[in-house]
Amino acid sequence: MDVEDNLNKCLIELSENHNPWTIFLEIVDPDSGLQALPHFDNNTDVMLFFKYYDPKAKKMHYAGHLYAPVSINVRKYQ
């Protein structure tokens, strides 16, 4: 799929005739004691998804997610 040719298309147009999408739905864990999900401001926050790739099985697995401010500093590990 050429990105430049698809910039102005709706998501539904892009999804037709392609593999089904995987959608993650975040819910409040009943055992957490919380009444609502944490606040998320799309102007100042980002949600990072972590995945694990199993090279033997050649499969990707969801490993978690994290809310982080966009201003966070990321350290390089050597």
pLDDT more than 90, % of the chain: 17
Work out how many domains the chain is built from and give that number: 1
Whole-angstrom distance, CA of residue 7 vs CA of residue 14? 10
Q: Which residue has the tokens 């995987």?
A: 22
Find the domain containing 14 and state its range.
Answer: 4-69
pLDDT digits (tens, 9 = 90+) for 6-42: 778 776 777 666 666 677 778 888 898 989 988 889 8
- Output the DSSP codes for 18-38: SPPPP-------GGG--SSPP
Domain presence at residue 61: yes
- Backbone φ, ψ for residue 2 (5° rounding): -85, 120
Give pLDDT, residue 20. 64
- HSE at residue 39, side-chain half, CA atoms within 13 A, is 4
Domain presence at residue 74: no
